Amino acid sequence: MTEILYREAIQQALREEMLRDDTVFLIGEDLRDPWGGTYKATAGLSPDFEDKRVLNTPIAEDTIIGAALGAALSGTRPVAELMYIDFVMRAMDAVVNQVAKVRYMSGGQSDVPLVIRTQGGGGRSSAAQHGNSLEAWLCHVPGLLIAMPSTPADAKGLLKTAIRLNDPVIFIEHKLLYATKGEVPDDEYTIPFGVADIKREGTDVTIVAASRALLFSLEAAEELAREGISAEVIDPRTLVPLDEETIFESVDKTNRLVVVAEGAERCGWTAEIAARVQEARFYSLDAPIQRVAALNVPLPFQPDMERYVLPSVKDIVAAAKRTLDA
């Protein structure tokens, strides 16, 4: 195991898959050096591969996705980057009406081996048009797979899997995770979609969180432990497909559930998980399920206001305690 940055794990996954399969290529805005992408996740790749393997594009998200879809249907494995998840709105017709539906509308005759990498989340004053968490929108679309890795090891293993799949994947990287560090296996490995990871075992309350919210949840679990409360923290890693059974088994053990996400609370994926647990494990619950998410307002630019709107460690601790007080 070697400790590396989250962005370095992304770079390793891309480089290894491009070396393994010469049909893999990158397409997006400012991917080549000296920029290496907005958050340097593709830095160092353009000198190592021919220009046709790392393609810079104009600022035209619908064209990026349309071109990537055409390439995927023509026998290559493109990894397209949308600079911010907010910009998926510029390509929503291509993503929702084309990428997600081609296999179905072709009667299963057409594979779509396309990965759309994008950056989501707040916490750095990116404001209302560059700091959103829109994964719930995309989870609602049949035909798309959704990955949200929280650690460098998960980011590398899931991205390698995503590139090898024959279905379209939305791969969401939180912009404040790129500089985080974690141990990554030195040997070749992949992580299957639809397999959650129990990041911390516990007995009193289950906390389910993905991406940067997972780090907050682990911090909350440490604070709860100091008060004698044992929290089990589960990272679904992929929202589609979702590993329900790991969550259900944990709720059977703890009898309490808190779901944490950075997106707005209304109609978020926290509600989806809460509904599935209520439907399948109602009699296991000793308290109402608690959701911790952003307030239902546009994300502010001012740092103090942004922190007020986004979920915090304090909010997670309070939610866990509410399940124990019920």
Sign of CA dihedral 211, 215, 218, 219: negative
Nearest partner of 60 among 36, 82, 33, judged by Cα: 82
Copy the structure tokens of residue 31. Answer: 């991917």
**What is d(CA 275, CA 32) in angstroms, rounded to the nearest whole number?**
43
Candidates 130, 174, 199, 281; catalytic one: 130
State the pairing for strand pair 169-174/145-147: parallel
**What is d(CA 215, CA 233) in angstroms, rounded to the nearest whole number?**
10
Residues β-bridged to residue 206:
232, 257
**What is d(CA 26, CA 54) in angstroms, rounded to the nearest whole number?**
5
**What is d(CA 76, CA 21) in angstroms, rounded to the nearest whole number?**
9
**What is d(CA 132, CA 121) in angstroms, rounded to the nearest whole number?**
5
H or E stretch including 117? strand 115-120
**What is d(CA 226, CA 214) in angstroms, rounded to the nearest whole number?**
19
Q: What is the DSSP letter of 298?
A: P
- Is 174 catalytic? The answer is no
Nearest partner of 275 among 293, 288, 294, 292, judged by Cα: 288
Number of residues that make up the chain: 326
Distance of CA 38 to the CA centre of its chain: 17
Q: What is the DSSP letter of 69?
A: H
**What is d(CA 101, CA 105) in angstroms, rounded to the nearest whole number?**
6
Q: Which residues are identified as catalytic?
A: 130
